[in-house]
Structure 1
Amino acid sequence: MTWEVLNMIGTVAFAISGAIVAMEEEYDLLGIYILGIVTAFGGGAIRNLLIGVPISALWEQEILFHIALFAMTTVFLFPHYLLRHWHKWGNLTDAIGLSAFAIQGALYAVQMNHSTSAVVVAAVLTGSGGGILRDLLAGRKPLVLRAEIYAFWAILAGLFIGFEIAKSSLELYGLFIGIVILRMLSYTYKWRLPNRSLKVNSEASISN
């Protein structure tokens, strides 16, 4: 499979996830399209701004916009039928999108001769930026920052590429498969990064 095919799968997955969130929030048709487009392309747009790629480069992906619009329209017309399949396959396609987009973003930054830190940021923004924007526009706390190990896998992809651990096509495909597997394992077994809450302490101090 080529990167173009993987990008199409990721675009469809992210566009559908944005459309589903919009429908859960009872947005109208325009809101569904806007949230889906933001989810599919928002991360790439922010990445382009930060690493110096012209924002107009997004408009060169006309075929991806058409695919995203078709996917969102299908979700709107047949929500219940597609949701059954989405609950079964949605996390896999989302993992494919995360991995493909994170690697793509990191490679963009490398081609621009940016530092390793910029490569990691580009990977994170491309892989998970759209989901963060989606949740913010929907009035939700971004799930990728608190509920699951998600953005961490994009960081890992950026580090592998930034430190030139994965350079050849074979190594990049191996990295892609590895990130997909790790994402699916973290979702299946509910892996979590360490966190610390201040809510209990705050409530205790107020009651005292």
Structure 2
Amino acid sequence: MWEILNIIGTIAFALSGVLVALEERYDLMGVYILGFITAFGGGAIRNLLIGIPVTELWNQGALFTLAFLVMTLAFFFPNILNWTLQKRGVFFDAIGLGTFSAQGALFAASMGLPISAAIAAAALTGAGGGMVRDVLAGRKPMFLHKEIYIAWTLIPGLLIGSGLVTSDIGAFLIVSAVVLLRLGSVQKQWHLPYQSFQPLTK
């Protein structure tokens, strides 16, 4: 389960980073930087949060190679990305959000950390890479102003962190639910409540 979620999430977020880079007309090096940041940035932030050495990321040589190959293919043959369901890589981003948030929660649970740590690990692993990607691309981070995004990571954080879901099938169902809910929130334009504030002028 761990390896499957890693592979799916890495491919999805790497492609999400490529799509943003292509929209911003970045060169090949920019595509690689944005893709790697999107695919591995969330894991790096999570490791810092829960006390795992960041150097653990460098033990994922196979995933780095996989991400490199996927990004190279997508850069030179961008037409293969035309089947995405939404603009701006929302389809890939939703898959990455679901798989990496579940992976983050599983990571925290496997270390015996409390449910609060599982929730935080799910949120940061799922949304951290996309946040850094958007900042580097000069965009407002998606989870701050778009349709419901980071709130969906509460599902794996709560269910896995509390021990209610421990099986592989249960984890896959959670991933599927987060992906579908994220796509549904874009399609239906669901938003959390928000307020605007206009300061008084003298």
* Same-fold status (TM-score > 0.5): yes
Deviation at 1:83, TM superposition (A): 3.7
Stretches of structure 2 lacking an aligned partner (at least 5 in a row): none
Closer, same or farther in 2 for the Cα pair 1:24/1:177, shift >3 Å?
closer
Stretches of structure 1 lacking an aligned partner (at least 5 in a row): none
Secondary structure of the corresponding residue to residue 35 of structure 1: helix
Which residue in 1 is equivalent to 2:12?
A: 13
Cα pair 1:6 1:96 within 8 Å, conserved = no
Deviation at 1:173, TM superposition (A): 2.6
1:188 has 2:190 as partner? no
* Paired residues, number: 201
Closer, same or farther in 2 for the Cα pair 1:148/1:71, shift >3 Å?
same
Cα pair 2:13 2:35 within 8 Å, conserved = yes
Cα pair 1:119 1:162 within 8 Å, conserved = yes
Quote the Cα distance in structure 2 between the aligned partners of 1:121 and 1:145.
Answer: 16
Deviation at 1:82, TM superposition (A): 2.7
Which residue in 1 is equivalent to 2:175?
A: 176
Which residue in 1 is equivalent to 2:132?
A: 133
The structure with the larger Rg is 1
Secondary structure of the corresponding residue to residue 145 of structure 1: helix
Quote the Cα distance in structure 1 between the aligned partners of 2:30 and 2:40.
Answer: 15
Closer, same or farther in 2 for the Cα pair 1:169/1:192, shift >3 Å?
same
Which residue in 2 is equivalent to 1:59?
A: 58
Which residue in 1 is equivalent to 2:83?
A: 85
RMSD over aligned CA atoms reads 2.0
Cα pair 2:155 2:174 within 8 Å, conserved = no
Quote the Cα distance in structure 2 between the aligned partners of 1:49 and 1:135.
Answer: 20
Which residues in structure 2 correspond to 1:187-206 (within 5 Å)? Answer: 187-198=186-197, 201-202=198-199, 205-206=200-201
Quote the Cα distance in structure 2 between the aligned partners of 1:3 and 1:72.
Answer: 22
Structure 1 stretches of 4+ with a deviation exceeding 4 A read 87-90
Deviation at 1:167, TM superposition (A): 2.2
Quote the Cα distance in structure 1 between the aligned partners of 2:55 and 2:166.
Answer: 28
Cα pair 2:5 2:99 within 8 Å, conserved = yes
Which residue in 1 is equivalent to 2:119?
A: 120
TM-score, reference length from structure 2? 0.89
Closer, same or farther in 2 for the Cα pair 1:176/1:23, shift >3 Å?
closer
Quote the Cα distance in structure 2 between the aligned partners of 1:85 and 1:3.
Answer: 27
Quote the Cα distance in structure 2 between the aligned partners of 1:27 and 1:93.
Answer: 19
Deviation at 1:72, TM superposition (A): 1.2
Cα pair 1:10 1:96 within 8 Å, conserved = yes
Which residue in 2 is equivalent to 1:158?
A: 157
Which residue in 2 is equivalent to 1:31?
A: 30
Deviation at 1:154, TM superposition (A): 0.9
Q: Give me the identity figure in percent.
A: 50
Deviation at 1:34, TM superposition (A): 0.7
